[in-house]
């Protein structure tokens, strides 16, 4: 059965840890590679997944988003839901759920860079549930391997056997009320724990997918380096 799906991107944060780069623009508008912004690289895979309407859940310097995307960008209709101040992820998501009728909502954090396959995530989603994309935790530090009193080796920032929230959600319209019960706050603290307890929360995971949250200037530089390397490899091939 074909379902109506709309997209939403959480892009209202202040981006304080990325200043001065975010003094005049929201961090979703920072360039990441090849003239494309972080937000560009989120809208494009939504389009490839068949989504034709994307809502920017905006706040800080929202006029800069309107300046770039207007009412449409690369064949995708762009809409805006603007909050007057940051009130948490749940408030922003509820703005979308209240304002827009749809069968299914794909909501993405506007500060991530990833090549996760959104078409596959949608295809694997089960009706009557909320799907949450997960990624494995990467240690922020190098680790030391030991055997007894002997140091046996070093490993630079290994991937750890723990999942973290990747900031991509598929929400069944039939579960909207679970979100709308709350006002301000964070969806990860208020809604998801209850859905998990009641069996309505499902995971989506791609073992080989690239994922990075852009929280600091260092994160941005690392993502740019990674994507620049991929472009150079493609040119060589």
User: Where are the domains positioned within the chain?
Assistant: 5-134+162-232
pLDDT at 176: 94
Residue pair 33/227 in contact (Cβ under 8 Å)? The answer is yes
The pLDDT value recorded for residue 236 is: 42
pLDDT of residue 75 exceeding 50: yes
Flag whether pLDDT at 54 surpasses 50: yes
Mean pLDDT, the chain, whole residue set = 90
How many Å apart are CA 33 and CA 113, to the nearest integer? 11
Two tokens, residue 87: 């009130």
**E strand residue ranges, the chain:** 5-11, 31-33, 36-37, 53-58, 72-73, 76-82, 104-109, 112-114, 130-138, 143-147, 150-155, 159-172, 201-205, 211-213
- Alpha-carbon torsion 53, 54, 57, 60, what sign? negative
Q: What 8-state DSSP symbol labels residue 139? A: P
Query: At residue 215, does pLDDT exceed 50?
Result: yes
Per-residue confidence band for 86, with pLDDT thresholds at 50, 70 and 90: confident
- Respond yes or no on whether the N-terminal peptide bond of residue 20 is cis (omega within 30° of 0): yes
Annotation: CATH topology of 5-134+162-232: Spore Coat Polysaccharide Biosynthesis Protein SpsA; Chain A (3.90.550)
* Residue-level pLDDT at 206: 93
DSSP run (H or E) holding 89: helix 89-99
Contact of 88 with 186, CB cutoff 8 Å: yes
Give the lowest-confidence range in 78-87, 138-147, 163-172, 212-221.
138-147
List pLDDT tens digits, range 97-146.
999 999 999 999 999 999 999 999 999 999 999 999 999 988 777 888 88
Confidence category of residue 63, pLDDT binned at 50, 70, 90: very high
Residue 149: pLDDT band (50, 70, 90) is: confident
pLDDT of residue 233: 45
Segment 162-170 mean pLDDT: 94
Average pLDDT on 166-187 reads: 93
Q: Which of 190, 167, 165, 170 is nearest to 179 (CA)?
A: 190
Q: What is the pLDDT of residue 141?
A: 75
Whole-structure pTM value: 0.89
- The pLDDT of residue 230 is 61
Whether the per-residue pLDDT at 85 is higher than 60: the answer is yes
Residue 140 CB partners (closer than 8 Å, separation 6+): 157
Share of the chain above pLDDT 90, in %: 73
Q: Are 7 and 103 in contact (CB under 8 A)?
A: no
Query: How does DSSP classify residue 199?
Result: T
pLDDT at 234 over 90: no
pLDDT of residue 235 exceeding 50, the answer is: no
Look at strands 201-205 and 112-114 and give their pairing.
Answer: unpaired
What pLDDT, on a 0 to 100 scale, did the predictor assign at position 231?
53
Nearest to 55 by CA among 27, 20, 94: 94
């Amino acid at each position: 059965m074909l379902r109506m799906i709309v997209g939403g991107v959480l892009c209202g944060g202040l981006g304080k840890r990325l200043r001065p780069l975010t003094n005049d623009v929201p961090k979703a508008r920072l360039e990441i590679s090849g003239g494309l912004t972080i937000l560009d690289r989120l809208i494009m895979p939504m389009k490839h997944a068949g989504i034709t309407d994307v809502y920017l859940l905006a706040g800080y310097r929202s006029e800069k988003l309107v300046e770039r995307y207007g009412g449409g960008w690369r064949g995708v209709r762009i809409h805006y839901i603007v909050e007057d101040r940051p009130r948490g992820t749940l408030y922003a998501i509820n703005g979308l759920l209240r304002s827009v009728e749809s069968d299914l909502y794909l909501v993405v954090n506007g500060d991530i860079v990833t090549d996760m396959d959104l078409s596959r995530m949608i295809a694997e989603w089960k009706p009557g549930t909320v799907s949450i994309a997960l990624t494995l935790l990467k240690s922020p530090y190098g680790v030391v391997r030991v055997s007894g009193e002997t140091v046996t080796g070093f490993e630079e920032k290994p991937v750890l056997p723990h999942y973290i929230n990747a900031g991509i959600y598929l929400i069944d319209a039939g579960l909207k009320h679970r979100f709308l019960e709350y006002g301000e706050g964070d969806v990860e603290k208020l809604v998801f724990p209850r859905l998990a307890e009641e069996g309505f929360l499902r995971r989506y995971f791609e073992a080989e997918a690239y994922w990075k949250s852009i929280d600091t200037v260092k994160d941005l530089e690392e993502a740019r380096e990674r994507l620049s390397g991929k472009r150079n490899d493609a040119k060589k091939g």
